[in-house]
Amino acid sequence: MAPKQFPLKGYTLPLTPKGQSSVVDPPPWYYGGEVMQLVFRTDEKRAKKFIPPPLEIGPEPGKGIVWFAEWVSVSEANPDMAFLNPERAMYRECVIMIQCSFRGEPGYIVPYIWVDNDFTLIRGFVQGFPKKLGRIYQTKLSELNPKIGGKRVGAKIKGICEAHGERLVEGSLLFTRQASPSELPPVRFYLMRHFPNIEDPAQPAVHELAISEVSQVRVADIWTGDADLKFFKSAVEEIADLAPVEMQGGFFHSMGLTINGGKVIHKYR
Amino acid sequence: MAPKQFPLKGYTLPLTPKGQSSVVDPPPWYYGGEVMQLVFRTDEKRAKKFIPPPLEIGPEPGKGIVWFAEWVSVSEANPDMAFLNPERAMYRECVIMIQCSFRGEPGYIVPYIWVDNDFTLIRGFVQGFPKKLGRIYQTKLSELNPKIGGKRVGAKIKGICEAHGERLVEGSLLFTRQASPSELPPVRFYLMRHFPNIEDPAQPAVHELAISEVSQVRVADIWTGDADLKFFKSAVEEIADLAPVEMQGGFFHSMGLTINGGKVIHKYR
Amino acid sequence: MAPKQFPLKGYTLPLTPKGQSSVVDPPPWYYGGEVMQLVFRTDEKRAKKFIPPPLEIGPEPGKGIVWFAEWVSVSEANPDMAFLNPERAMYRECVIMIQCSFRGEPGYIVPYIWVDNDFTLIRGFVQGFPKKLGRIYQTKLSELNPKIGGKRVGAKIKGICEAHGERLVEGSLLFTRQASPSELPPVRFYLMRHFPNIEDPAQPAVHELAISEVSQVRVADIWTGDADLKFFKSAVEEIADLAPVEMQGGFFHSMGLTINGGKVIHKYR
Amino acid sequence: MAPKQFPLKGYTLPLTPKGQSSVVDPPPWYYGGEVMQLVFRTDEKRAKKFIPPPLEIGPEPGKGIVWFAEWVSVSEANPDMAFLNPERAMYRECVIMIQCSFRGEPGYIVPYIWVDNDFTLIRGFVQGFPKKLGRIYQTKLSELNPKIGGKRVGAKIKGICEAHGERLVEGSLLFTRQASPSELPPVRFYLMRHFPNIEDPAQPAVHELAISEVSQVRVADIWTGDADLKFFKSAVEEIADLAPVEMQGGFFHSMGLTINGGKVIHKYR
């Protein structure tokens, strides 16, 4: 049955008569936010365990990045959603990335990512981000707060990620100077789209590597500095297997971008 | 690449070296909980809009049921999870069902369902339940609370479902008598498995109807009574399009079951 | 027993050996945040019901203001808390104010205020703000989000406050121009400190009017525009009794201040 | 001004014209719930630091109890609240108790207690419980869940308490046999009512010891067994100072009671 003949509408479930309820709208998706990036290096062997073929270890073996971010995000279908219902357009996230490469092109795989809202959780699954729910807290600098102050040399921010009663990740950055866009690590995601078959758990219905089609990337107000990062032991998550880490600095900046969908670069089957 | 050759493990994302982190474990899934069922009848034309072919209107056109439930759920892979981390094994939900039939066999389609945890949200998408996050509150009767009391003739319970700052559903039941299992409406779900293609929003990667493979269904401690139900206007959800409703009573009972996976009964394409 | 002889420490409960755990630190308290102010006028008689003697109706009878705000707040005792644990230093709030006057000096009484964290909830009770928990959502403008954009003529923001499954307040502002600090309504709070006696519910242990000792007030980046405001019916809150309202515009601005404690201006007994 | 002349109504803030909004109703308060009790012994010196005079160390120095509980609670003023809005009548809590004695009569002081709703948070402050917000998770046994099962020899339950991104307390119980009410440790609370002065942080407006007036206590369905308990290090809470602990067993049972208010037994000043 062609989509035209299927009377319910929506990019994802729920599919409904008017198509207003889909938890995720179709791309393009528009993002604006604040990002703390913490660059680390772990043991190559530890990193490699998280990199499945055909991805290979990257040019800087063991390199990884953690992002703590707060996003405002709307879609082409509902560009006014940040006004209509702010809750449907905001989320925080903590992303773990491990450098890898695909056919010689370096990028990052995302073994873990936590967010705090459903639309971004499901959108993550659609894109290939393995999102789970967590609570993400991040220092907000405040120019007018007499004891905190704004972005400046010496400013300190921290990110904390907790899920199912466990502190999972904690990272911080001490601002030492402003930086230029060219200093930011270029990030290209190799994303794992995966959706189970309901008849046979061993044969996923969808299992493929994808890249996002990104445009209109802008960064502003970039600071760099000394970073710190801790992965905590967990009964559920395997992130402590990435420790110990050695830090290679970090960044804090504003960022905007558009994701126009994605492209499948490898199918597992 | 065969699953054996793919080194990361998990039934869903996140796929990890040890396979502990997958937000959903593979079936079988085991459930135990308390369910309030509210049986309603809406206009046939309104109901029909939510029933996509090849499903057809059921033998009792316009019939629907709302469930408010609190579940404890674990998997075969982690049967001890309710003890190890209770948060990973509990959730509340509010389910909207519309009667339909498939090749002459009556069942229910689920246009809306809200839950309050990530593992059940994603498990819903795998099964074909269009889950979103919400907050679900339900009266807990309490034998020893001097002003509330336990299950008895005259006891009253209410369920409330709220999401993104909107009250969406409110339903209540006044217990009039105990009932037998045979009085409960038989429920068979026709589930819409749907997962977008990342390259073309108009062509989903997965779009099929499935039924769950259910076993070990047990019900206990069944009460029936007078029901009430309200669907509220929302800027996002189309549930108010199911109103007005006429009530046909309701039930409250304990329930246990096992879901062993599912079977695809129709593919849209 | 003098405080020196009482071995446990803390400004509020919990009182502990080291004094680290008190849910609120002693003043001074430092604030920085973003505030949307919505100025309204309701019927004088309706407003008056919320103004207890010795407070009197203000010079602009029926005038009120709603604030939606997001704050970063730390104390003199733990000035680094926004870094050490960001969760302990951030909250959102929705404040309802009704103009009144005390001995001829105009100010505002706060019949309702919702926040989303415990330290600010209890600090509210200490100051005389009748805080309850709610979920407060507010549009975040985003310069770099291609579809949202930053502060500018035509920008629109909305605030939504929900508690116990009920939407309570919704307000919005359409930016029409930048404004100067002198255009902001001067706000002086007349605060109701109240704490029950445990032996006799009819005789509160503390019942007094207080004003806060505020210093270092700074405002920046002020916008004004067309405002809208809705108070919703609730089974618990009496805010709908303030409707209908007529709007007198609104503001959005950054703000910083210090509260050094308070002064009692009237004791009810 | 006598209460009759003060036109706003409520047992606590918010005080309003109709008196519907007070976050806490006046006593009597009615409770029904499920309680896991974990009995421990810590070093006497460690325990003593949490016991302020005139309270003294109890007859079993170093003894303490942790409760994980889920309550349904309503008041005389709104006995139907569990039906009208279930959210306003339910909460979970984790309570830490240290044995002490007052004028020779043994009881318990509560250095820490976490809850997950505002009405119980403020009611705690009124009674003298030093409540903070946390997330409390507890295993729910489920007779009909094929892998979990109901209360029985060998059943295991766990409680976890997390606040501000830190796991604080974890406790568990392995059921070994049913028990009689007489085996439960008698619990009498010595409660610290404390409310700051707004003018002088060093001189609280209220600082007194109180006991609750409890009646209609009923317990049922009591199990006892082997207990385990962990207090975690925290940047905020001093609970780890109570470790290491030695366990003396535990209990799980239903409980109902009425609190009719309280009585002040000591004033600090």
Q: Which residues does chain B have within 8 Å of residue C167's beta carbon, measured at their own beta carbons?
A: 165-167
Classify strands A156-163 and A90-102 as parallel, antiparallel or unpaired.
unpaired
Phi/psi at B121 (5° precision) = -60, -55
The pLDDT of residue D269 is above 90? no
Nearest to C162 among B137, B161, B162 (CB): B162
Q: Tell if the CB–CB gap between C90 and A220 is shorter than 8 Å.
A: no
Question: How far is Cα B197 from Cα B193, in angstroms, rounded to an integer?
Answer: 13
Q: Tell if the CB–CB gap between B72 and D254 is shorter than 8 Å.
A: no
- Output the six-digit token pair for B200: 């073309």
Tens of pLDDT along chain B (269 residues) come to 445 579 999 999 999 999 999 999 999 999 999 999 999 999 999 999 999 999 999 999 999 999 999 999 999 999 999 999 999 999 999 999 999 999 999 999 999 999 999 999 999 999 999 999 999 999 999 999 999 999 999 999 999 999 999 999 999 999 999 999 999 999 999 999 999 999 999 999 999 999 999 999 999 999 999 999 999 999 999 999 999 999 999 999 999 999 999 999 999 97
Q: Which residues does chain D have within 8 Å of residue B254's beta carbon, measured at their own beta carbons?
A: 143-144
CB atoms within 10 A of CB B105: 12
3-state DSSP assignment of residue C45: helix
Buried b (16+ CB within 10 A) or exposed e, B118-155: bbbbbbbbbbbbbbbbbbbbbbbbbebbbbbeeeeeeb
Do residues D21 and D118 touch, judged by C-beta distance below 8 A?
A: no
Residue reference for tokens 């602009």:
C60
Summarize pLDDT for D209-241 with one digit per residue, the tens.
999 999 999 999 999 999 999 999 999 999 999
Per-residue pLDDT at B191: 98
The pLDDT of residue A80 is above 80? yes
Q: Tell if the CB–CB gap between A84 and B235 is shorter than 8 Å.
A: yes
Q: Which amino acid is at D76?
A: E
Per-residue pLDDT at B193: 98
Torsion angle of C-alpha atoms A46, A52, A54, A59, degrees rounded to 10: -20
Q: Which residues does chain D have within 8 Å of residue B82's beta carbon, measured at their own beta carbons?
A: 139-140, 142, 145, 148
Classify strands B29-41 and B56-57 as parallel, antiparallel or unpaired.
unpaired
Do residues B91 and B34 touch, judged by C-beta distance below 8 A?
A: no
Per-residue pLDDT at C214: 97
Q: Tell if the CB–CB gap between B15 and A130 is shorter than 8 Å.
A: yes
Beta-carbon contacts of residue B175 (< 8 Å; ≥ 6 apart) = B151, B152, B153, B154, B155, B156, B157, B223, B224, B225, B252
* ipTM surpasses 0.95: yes
The pLDDT of residue C63 is above 80? yes
Q: Tell if the CB–CB gap between C144 and A220 is shorter than 8 Å.
A: yes
The pLDDT of residue D3 is above 60? no
Rounded to a whole number of angstroms, the distance from the CA of C28 to the nearest CA of chain A is 11
**Average model confidence (pLDDT) for chain D?**
97
Torsion angle of C-alpha atoms B131, B135, B138, B142, degrees rounded to 10: 120
Which chains does B contact via 3+ CB–CB distances below 8 A? A, C, D
Rounded to a whole number of angstroms, the distance from the CA of C2 to the nearest CA of chain B is 41
Per-residue pLDDT at B138: 98
Do residues C187 and C65 touch, judged by C-beta distance below 8 A?
A: yes
Query: ω before C28 within 30° of 0 (cis)?
Result: yes
Q: Which residues does chain C have within 8 Å of residue A30's beta carbon, measured at their own beta carbons?
A: 145-148
pLDDT band at A77 (very low <50, low <70, confident <90, very high): very high
Residue of A nearest to C32 (CA): A145
Q: Which residues does chain B have within 8 Å of residue C166's beta carbon, measured at their own beta carbons?
A: 162, 167
Q: Tell if the CB–CB gap between C166 and B166 is shorter than 8 Å.
A: no
Nearest to A130 among B7, B14, B202 (CB): B14
**Average model confidence (pLDDT) for chain A?**
97
Q: Which residues does chain C have within 8 Å of residue D236's beta carbon, measured at their own beta carbons?
A: 20-21, 85, 88
Burial of A178 from C-beta contacts in 10 A (0-12 / 13-18 / 19+): middle
Which chains does C contact via 3+ CB–CB distances below 8 A? A, B, D
Per-residue pLDDT at D4: 58
Q: Which residues does chain C have within 8 Å of residue B167's beta carbon, measured at their own beta carbons?
A: 165-167
Q: Could you tell me how far CA A169 lies from the centroid of its own chain?
A: 14
CA atoms within 13 A on the CB side of D154: 4
- Output the six-digit token pair for C188: 């002086």
Q: Hey, which residues does A164 pair with through a beta bridge?
A: none
Beta-carbon contacts of residue A228 (< 8 Å; ≥ 6 apart) = A38, A171, A172, A173, A247
Summarize pLDDT for C136-159 with one digit per residue, the tens.
999 999 999 999 999 999 999 999
Q: Which residues does chain A have within 8 Å of residue D232's beta carbon, measured at their own beta carbons?
A: none
Q: Which residues does chain C have within 8 Å of residue A33's beta carbon, measured at their own beta carbons?
A: 142, 144-145
Selected residue with higher pLDDT from A2 and D136: D136
Classify strands A189-195 and C156-163 as parallel, antiparallel or unpaired.
unpaired
Per-residue pLDDT at D1: 45
Phi/psi at A48 (5° precision) = -60, -35
Q: Tell if the CB–CB gap between A192 and B3 is shorter than 8 Å.
A: no
- Output the six-digit token pair for D181: 């009410």
pLDDT band at C269 (very low <50, low <70, confident <90, very high): confident
Question: How far is Cα C95 from Cα C136, in angstroms, rounded to an integer?
Answer: 11
Q: Could you tell me how far CA A256 lies from the centroid of its own chain?
A: 14
Per-residue pLDDT at C92: 98
Question: How far is Cα B8 from Cα A124, in angstroms, rounded to an integer?
Answer: 18
Q: Quick one: DSSP state of residue C142? A: B
Which chains does D contact via 3+ CB–CB distances below 8 A? A, B, C
Beta-carbon contacts of residue B23 (< 8 Å; ≥ 6 apart) = A130, A132, B12, B13, B14, B118, B119, B122
Nearest Cα to Cα of residue D253 among D65, D40, D89, D69? D69
Q: Tell if the CB–CB gap between A165 and D165 is shorter than 8 Å.
A: no
Q: Which amino acid is at B56?
A: E
Do residues C24 and C11 touch, judged by C-beta distance below 8 A?
A: yes
**Average model confidence (pLDDT) for chain C?**
97
Per-residue pLDDT at B4: 58
Nearest to D14 among C111, C164, C203 (CB): C111
Region A219-240: mean pLDDT is 98
Q: Tell if the CB–CB gap between A88 and B236 is shorter than 8 Å.
A: yes
Per-residue pLDDT at A78: 98
Classify strands C189-195 and C206-231 as parallel, antiparallel or unpaired.
antiparallel
CA atoms within 13 A on the CB side of D180: 1
Per-residue pLDDT at A4: 58
Do residues D11 and D19 touch, judged by C-beta distance below 8 A?
A: no
Per-residue pLDDT at B5: 78
Rounded to a whole number of angstroms, the distance from the CA of C247 to the nearest CA of chain A is 19
Concatenated DSSP letters for C211-242?
EEEEEEEEEEEEEEEEEEEEE---SS--GGGG
3-state DSSP assignment of residue B125: helix
Q: Tell if the CB–CB gap between D21 and C262 is shorter than 8 Å.
A: no
Residue of A nearest to B5 (CA): A53
Buried b (16+ CB within 10 A) or exposed e, B81-99: bbbbbbbbbbbbbbbbbbb
Question: How far is Cα D21 from Cα B243, in angstroms, rounded to an integer?
Answer: 31
Residues in chain B: 269
Q: Which residues does chain D have within 8 Å of residue C262's beta carbon, measured at their own beta carbons?
A: 198-199
Task: Tell me the residues of C at the B interface, defined by beta carbons under 8 Å apart.
Answer: 135, 137, 160-162, 165-167
Q: Tell if the CB–CB gap between A162 and D162 is shorter than 8 Å.
A: yes
Question: How far is Cα A137 from Cα A134, in angstroms, rounded to an integer?
Answer: 10
Nearest Cα to Cα of residue C124 among C87, C84, C95? C95
Rounded to a whole number of angstroms, the distance from the CA of C56 to the nearest CA of chain D is 13
Residue of A nearest to D234 (CA): A167
Strands (E) across chain B are located at: 29-41, 56-57, 63-75, 90-102, 105-115, 131-133, 135-138, 156-163, 166-178, 189-195, 206-231, 246-267
Q: Tell if the CB–CB gap between A160 and D165 is shorter than 8 Å.
A: yes
